[in-house]
Structure 1
Amino acid sequence: MGDTAKINYGNQRKITIFNIPCMLYVVMLVVILACIYLEVVPFTLPASLAVLLVVSAVLGEVGDRIPIWNEYIGGGAILAFVVGGLIYTYEWMPRQTIELVIHFFDEFGYIDLFVSVLITGSVLSIKRKLLLRALTGFFPAIIGGIVMASVFGVLLGLVFGKSPVEILTLYMLPIMGGGTGAGAIPMSEIYASATGQTAEKFLSFALPILTIANILCIFTASVLNKIGNSKPSWTGNGELLKGNVDFDADQKEEKLELKLEDVAAGLALACTFYMLGTLFSKFLLPTIFGIQIHTYAYMIVFVAFSNVFNVIPANMRQGAKRLQGFFGTNMLWLQMLAVGLALTDFNEIIAALTIPNVIIAGGIVVGAFVGSAIVGYLVGFYPIEAGIAAGLCMANRGGSGDIAVLGASKRMSLISYAQISSRLGGAIILVIASVMFGIFLG
């Protein structure tokens, strides 16, 4: 997102916001703000998009450029979320506009479109052979991280008087869920479906916990780099498999000329997978052993199988991937502002930033590393690389968190494995969430 604002030097200096010339953007913002504060915003989809896109653009650009905030807190996406929460809590905008955004977020169904596109594109973008290999080697390391994160989190939770159910559902699942867009947000919908409470209530606690865990993951990664320098037998210096095996040697990206029709086909595919998940969750097999299975959980299963069995043409896969990239970057600021504006009370976020929460989140992060490192070592991986790629990259904030963690550990060569953790691992967590919410909270 940060590269959308550029300074170009030529005959004149040109500054853009969200790739819009600065003066034109100011005019657009003035028009939007005039409609908002004169209370003439129509209750329509274009109006909600206009408010969210234009307002979130400046918040995103600024947030991505604030030192420290952009490196460790979450950049523009989190600033948009925070400002949205403040707007809701203190009504910095007329109630009419806030209600429009809430309606857009829930009733217009934008959240379902956003999540469907992210799930489809992210799972299909994992190379088929890499996905198959993940099930045999890397997949157990991910599971090890999930198990130990749960154990460490529950043990620390008991120290602070919190029940295992609370730790697992409100701490472990959001932290290990693969980030915000494809993790916490769809998980909040699963939570709402299982409990009858609002998705915003879950997000108001999950998002600050995610932020805490992301910071701790980055710090832990830098420490592990120093440990690797002193314990060379524990690390492959960016190589995951022992024996200097190139795990991705035969995984060359298929070169295709992407057309607009392919992107449209990717959108149709994402929406069809959503409808297929709906068909199973609402009619064909709504429960398994008495547990309500969410639409997103079915979606993940069907998209993964379609990738493994190679039933989706390459052009449609790349179209879905491009669409997912668009929604996951260009539309993320919009999404986060909408999430913030739909919060019930921003004070709940502040209340979540306590010493016990920081310690519990830290225990989950450490547990994720330890579990993945141990299992990775047993299946022939270097423990530091396994712990970083399968553990920390599960506990961070998705794609942007992966870059930060791998940069801090100086192991950017692990990016393919990090993406499996964020995408496949996050998808597994959503399935687990669907089951656990149904059992413990339903």
Structure 2
Amino acid sequence: MTANKLENKGFQLMGISLPMFLILTAVVLFATYMGVLPKGMIGAFPLMMIIGAILNELGNRLPIVKDFLGGGAIIVIFGSAALVTYGVLPESSKEIMKNFMKGEGFLSFYIAALITGSILGMNRKLLISASVRYLPVILGGVIVSLGLTGLVGMVMGYGAKEAIFYVAIPIMGGGMGAGAVPLSQIFGQALNTDPTQMMSKMVPALALGNAMAIVVAGLLDRVGKKKVSLTGNGKLMKSQNAIKEEEQKTMKLDYKLMGIGILLSTTFFVWGKILAKFIPIHAYALMIISVAVVKVLGIIPEKYEKGAFQWFRFVMTNFTPALLVGIGVAYTDLNAVINSLSVIYVILVFTTVLGATIGSGFVGNLLGFYPIEASITGGLCMANMGGTGDVAVLSACNRMELMPFAQISSRIGGAFMLILATSLLSIFL
């Protein structure tokens, strides 16, 4: 078989032609079941990337899953968890992936790239403007969401604190990679509990919350068609002085800049660890604050910011499915997830999404935003699963032009939830 036949223009996975991908998969799986898969990243990476690519493609093609349940991300997490829970993959491969995620720090490496690159890659003026006028909209959604969920949890016998910490906060936390994953670490450290248990409680809430956010977005679009005074049809602010994101100067992909991005992201992570020794806040939250301050003050040259952004994009594009496999294997107890689902749990998830919608719409209206657009961006884009959830929510309500504000909700709003969760844990637990 020639190289040209292997590399055809048909169906592809990870940008690789199907024949070539099947050959790579056969080699990796053969090593896995022979028990000769190397330990460490050299063995974990190919296995996690291949499993992630297959399950991600499956999830993005299943009708109900791709439209209402977060697509590939959910299938990768639960699918990989099922593979190890039911013994489809050998125990040795489970240990390799688990150690890569926890012992060798792949999880922290990914989070560092995500936080540093996403914040440094934002437009500075938009970041500053958003903190003044847009963040109160997010805050309104968070307060009503947490308060309503806590109240319903108390009335239904689930417990107010349990409903807030294990349902509302994970849903409003900014997705999986930047939300539930670091939250599970924060909760695990504060409660002296294995993060795996925390993750197993949070993942069902994320999936259901994402599905409900998409459905509510479609309903808000219909409401806007009947009550035209409530919507700007994609325009967020009622006045003509809407915040506009300046055109980002494009910069060619530069391998040296990506190297700088690696150094910046890992150094910011280390800096967060240093601050955590003196300030009683989790290192992730301190890292986020530090990156945001540096961005606002313009301390780092734009070229280096671009490097951090390019590295973040590389990591997110190539490593996210692999990371989700690691989350499924190392942090998701499938039996605990199944046992956590109940009618009360579903109701609490709904009240979280409903509270976010009402709170952000109300505050947004007071500050000169259209209520429906404020609810969509400040509420539903906080309650969905990060970037992929933003696309799904905005597609459902035909308002893709709101993506910059949706991204603020996912990035800055999600970062705020990490800080809020750290503070609430120190107060109530």
TM-score, length-scaled by structure 1:
0.92
Contact 2:391/2:400 (8 A) holds in 1: yes
Contact 1:82/1:340 (8 A) holds in 2: yes
Structure 2: distance between partners of 1:273 and 1:375: 34
1:4 corresponding residue in structure 2:
none
- State the Cα deviation string for residues 222-275 of structure 1 (Å, max 9, x = none): 1111111111111111111112334206x2212333311111111111011001
1:311 corresponding residue in structure 2:
299
1:382 corresponding residue in structure 2:
370
Contact 1:88/1:345 (8 A) holds in 2: no
**CA 1:94–1:153 in structure 2 vs 1: closer, same or farther (change >3 Å)?**
same
Structure 1: distance between partners of 2:349 and 2:40: 40
| Matching residue's letter, 1:362 | F
Contact 2:76/2:328 (8 A) holds in 1: yes
How many residue pairs end up in the alignment? 425
Structure 1: distance between partners of 2:150 and 2:355: 11
By how many angstroms is 1:351 displaced? Answer: 2.0
Structure 2: distance between partners of 1:200 and 1:326: 27
By how many angstroms is 1:327 displaced? Answer: 2.2
| Matching residue's letter, 1:48 | A
Structure 2: distance between partners of 1:401 and 1:55: 22
Percent of residue pairs identical: 36
| Matching residue's letter, 1:93 | L
- Determine whether 1:268 maps to 2:268: no
| Matching residue's letter, 2:386 | G
Structure 2: distance between partners of 1:12 and 1:392: 40
| Matching residue's letter, 1:400 | T
Deviates more, 1:205-214 or 1:252-261: 252-261
- Determine whether 1:157 maps to 2:153: yes
1:3 corresponding residue in structure 2:
none
Structure 1: distance between partners of 2:54 and 2:214: 26
Contact 2:59/2:66 (8 A) holds in 1: yes
Match of 1:195 among 176, 183, 191: 191
Structure 1: distance between partners of 2:136 and 2:301: 29
1:332 corresponding residue in structure 2:
320
Give the 3-state SS of the residue equivalent to 2:48 in structure 1.
Answer: helix
2:252 corresponding residue in structure 1:
257
Structure 2: distance between partners of 1:95 and 1:171: 31
Contact 1:184/1:203 (8 A) holds in 2: yes
Contact 1:389/1:414 (8 A) holds in 2: yes
Deviates more, 1:240-249 or 1:161-170: 240-249
By how many angstroms is 1:368 displaced? Answer: 0.5
2:339 corresponding residue in structure 1:
351
**CA 1:254–1:12 in structure 2 vs 1: closer, same or farther (change >3 Å)?**
closer
By how many angstroms is 1:194 displaced? Answer: 1.2
By how many angstroms is 1:12 displaced? Answer: 6.1
Contact 2:35/2:92 (8 A) holds in 1: yes
**CA 1:39–1:410 in structure 2 vs 1: closer, same or farther (change >3 Å)?**
same
Contact 1:88/1:343 (8 A) holds in 2: no
Q: Where do 4+ consecutive residues of structure 1 move more than 4 Å?
A: none
Structure 2: distance between partners of 1:195 and 1:179: 22
Give the 3-state SS of the residue equivalent to 2:10 in structure 1.
Answer: strand
> Any residues of structure 2 matched to 1:123-272 within 5 Å, and which?
123-248=119-244, 251-272=246-267
- State the Cα deviation string for residues 86-108 of structure 1 (Å, max 9, x = none): 12222222211111111111000
1:410 corresponding residue in structure 2:
398
By how many angstroms is 1:39 displaced? Answer: 1.4
Structure 1: distance between partners of 2:298 and 2:414: 21
Deviates more, 1:46-55 or 1:343-352: 343-352
2:272 corresponding residue in structure 1:
277
Structure 2 unaligned blocks of 5 or more: none
Structure 1: distance between partners of 2:305 and 2:172: 26
**CA 1:167–1:225 in structure 2 vs 1: closer, same or farther (change >3 Å)?**
same
- Determine whether 1:435 maps to 2:419: no
Contact 1:209/1:352 (8 A) holds in 2: no
Structure 1 unaligned blocks of 5 or more: 1-7, 288-292
- State the Cα deviation string for residues 21-75 of structure 1 (Å, max 9, x = none): 2112111111111111111223222011121112222121222122221121122
Contact 2:167/2:205 (8 A) holds in 1: yes
By how many angstroms is 1:141 displaced? Answer: 0.6
Give the 3-state SS of the residue equivalent to 1:178 in structure 2.
Answer: coil
> Any residues of structure 2 matched to 1:56-75 within 5 Å, and which?
56-75=52-71
By how many angstroms is 1:344 displaced? Answer: 6.0
TM-score, length-scaled by structure 2:
0.95
Contact 2:234/2:401 (8 A) holds in 1: yes
Structure 2: distance between partners of 1:238 and 1:244: 13
2:289 corresponding residue in structure 1:
301
Structure 2: distance between partners of 1:151 and 1:236: 28
Structure 2: distance between partners of 1:210 and 1:138: 24
